Structure 1
Amino acid sequence: FLYTLAVCLILELLGGIVALLFRNRTVDLLNKNVRKGMVNYYDDLDFKNIMDFVQKKFKCCGGTEYSDWAVNMYHNCSAPGPLACGVPYTCCYSQPNEVINTLCGYKVLDKQRLDLINIIYVRGCTDAVFIWLMDNYKIMAGLLLGILLPQ
């Protein structure tokens, strides 16, 4: 049992070190998987719920930026329907006591970034999550120690 636990601990440490050393590749892999999920956004309820939560919590939109939503067949500018050339409402700025406008991201993909700053979040979620991790690295280190020490 001790050897199994030691191997798990070493693998966890190696995984963390490799992720830090190859940060750019890690970010690229994450962006690639987020974009793959965005393609199936309305078909995969679990991914949709996670993406909606992340976009609301971290005030971000898409993977690398808001224009990533063009990969989704409903949000692509060539698609028919009300969602065409738009982003999900979770990308939009919202006021605390207002009713959510679910079409607030309507026709934003064909506009310039500066025109959208007060309408939707233009920062990508990958960057927003990494900024949050860097701002809270002490808490993350404490959590890691809390997991690693008992092992």
Structure 2
Amino acid sequence: MRTPLETIDGKAVKNLAGAHAINGAVVFGQPGGFAVLVKYGANERAVAAQRSRRLRIWRNLNTAAAYVRDELGLARFEIDMTEHDPTAVERKRPDTAKRQRQLHEAAEHDAWFRGQVQKALDGVKDGSNRAIPEEEWTARSNATRVELKRRIVKHGS
């Protein structure tokens, strides 16, 4: 088991990479994914997750390697699979499907609503939708209120 590592936040790592101060990196296996250890000067630090001091864990080796290559600018680095156990941590988010469904429904409703508004505006422009005079609107509203009150009295709710 690897001893607990000191961490460094992603912004500091990017600053080191920008200054070409990183000497090397190790992508090392963790339960459920991979972490990255950067070497600079005489120091070694593991890259921390955003807004925390815990290890940042990438789900697969390709994304961790891409981070080292693309974000840190290191084409050569080590890979240590010693402690990798892909079955150790279940990282699924049970609320993801529900959240995605809600986003999809909201997008559909937004598109429908915008279409209705555009249809009404087009109707006003071409004359197929007429403006209701205020007196007529008041009479319709009052008639609707009277009918609703009648139903409430009749059904008791």
Which structure would you say has the larger RCO, counting Cα contacts within 8 Å and 6 or more residues apart? 1
User: Higher strand share goes to which structure?
Assistant: 2
Q: TM-score, normalising length from structure 1?
A: 0.25
Q: TM-score, normalising length from structure 2?
A: 0.25
User: Higher helix share goes to which structure?
Assistant: 1
